[in-house]
Structure 1
């Protein structure tokens, strides 16, 4: 038995603002240095894409909006106001309890801009802090310093924004376990509802990749990196934060609902240059370049590629993203989407991972064990192509 894609209209929106003050040394996101960029032309193009998108696929009641980048908060207050008005115009029907998140860099959120954000409906801000040592920040190409972090958070709270999150990174060049411990301590002193903590990945087409290939990137060794991850997990738990996903920690009820949309493999609109969307078992990716994106919106939807996701691929995706959540994947949710049980489809892979001690089977749920959290990529990899290669 197979099921058709859900007919429920999308309730989540991702929007990409690709501009940054500068390019960080580790970044491979679709972002461009702000200087001399046609920002208002881009925002008008986004407005056109929103209009065409909702004509094509009308939205439901919008439960989450996430504005990422780049650095969305490099927009000037008048640009920000125009952008937020566009969202309201084309997605007017908001859930009473909407989560509207915007990524920000410390130092790019003055009181005037935060007031515009709050007035436009933003109620959650995620700051890319990364570390609490100025020498580490300059070493990864960040333009803010630690003082900017405190000032930005103070400004956000003064503007009435209290649902705040910060990103930290570990495994950075020249970072020690003691440095990470200090960053975690200072982060926890802020008493925020949410923290995201990521390990550095050296991606192609970045300055760090070039340095790595020349053996000029002084990364921590594997033992230290493992110690860093164990330290942050134990520190966050001791401070009362739930590790609800491999890299994310929250106070109860303060999890990122937008990201959970991804991890539950649910539909979302993807708008802006280089954005990805997933609607009615159809994935799309937009044209990446700023000017090509702007030009494309004058002729129609600015999509670079669009392709259907088969039932088998959708099942694999469900497992790969769902197992990132500490709650795991449930047989009930799987059956609701696909009309088959987890055991019907993935018995071999599930039994192998349980036997290896990387998955736990509790009732109708499979979830990462404590050991599995440390080897998550091995677990997710087990489901890559598990069905489509057969």
Structure 2
């Protein structure tokens, strides 16, 4: 397929994006950053739901809200095309675009697109080389397949909320839509693997991915710990289930993260705090002992660390070769030299913004030969409909 851009490892790949909210758009933005041409299909009556998820909004030259920050976080490097898939004309347009695309991605309820003739079976019959990625709350099969999927529901059903929060507090979600984002990452990996298979065999396929499945998959050590022991993990606040001390401590003027990963680091940590007797105590001599006596250890460390400033802790432990770091607020994050050096904040020109530009979070992938590119700022609703249909010779 002809992608329309001569940049990136996915140059020449066209993605027809029927997804909305966050999981699907996260995937397609990443594919777009890698050079794919992404055609985002939106309902003419309002478009992607996240367009209205604000404030905050970017304001246009007239001072009116134009783009929500939520929408902008996952929709750069895309063309916005408005199509009503509930109409015969809309279905014809989607089929014509799909026939010229390498990938279709959607996040309707399982079976939701069948009545429009836009389901995987129908489109893959038309083009056997098509890669069709379906994202849903619980997957295309199973007793919960019919239920809607939202990030918060996935975090709750998939178990991560039972592990997050203070021991005596309520179950707590992660501060951002991490189940959606991780599902989008898994979708990207699956699509790239399917592209490799298609390039070798000529055959496309359907990818069935759910928010809950992907959330369960990243329970990682806590999940396998339960499967190994049969014991239900508990919430530990900022404590680590397998390492101690590895958590946040209060200082005299804020907080600091201490991440003691082995016994030699623990010795240096105690030397810095003038607690040289601790590593000689059998209760704290190795990591297993420290885990078994975690509460006693933290009770000893807490008042000592609380008497020191955050800067003193960071400076002293860095000099001692002990992993340590700050707990930064977002203003500190985006003002940091490290974020600037790694291009993790990017500015893009946008006619939707009153000052002509928007600031976005950068892509973390750093390629030596095929770097990511930021070619198109998040689009206004339907701004590219005429251009795309004309260029691909699809009659409206």
**Normalised TM-score (structure 2):** 0.22
- Per residue, is there more strand in 1 or in 2? 1
Higher Rg:
2
| More RCO (CA 8 Å, sep 6+) | 2
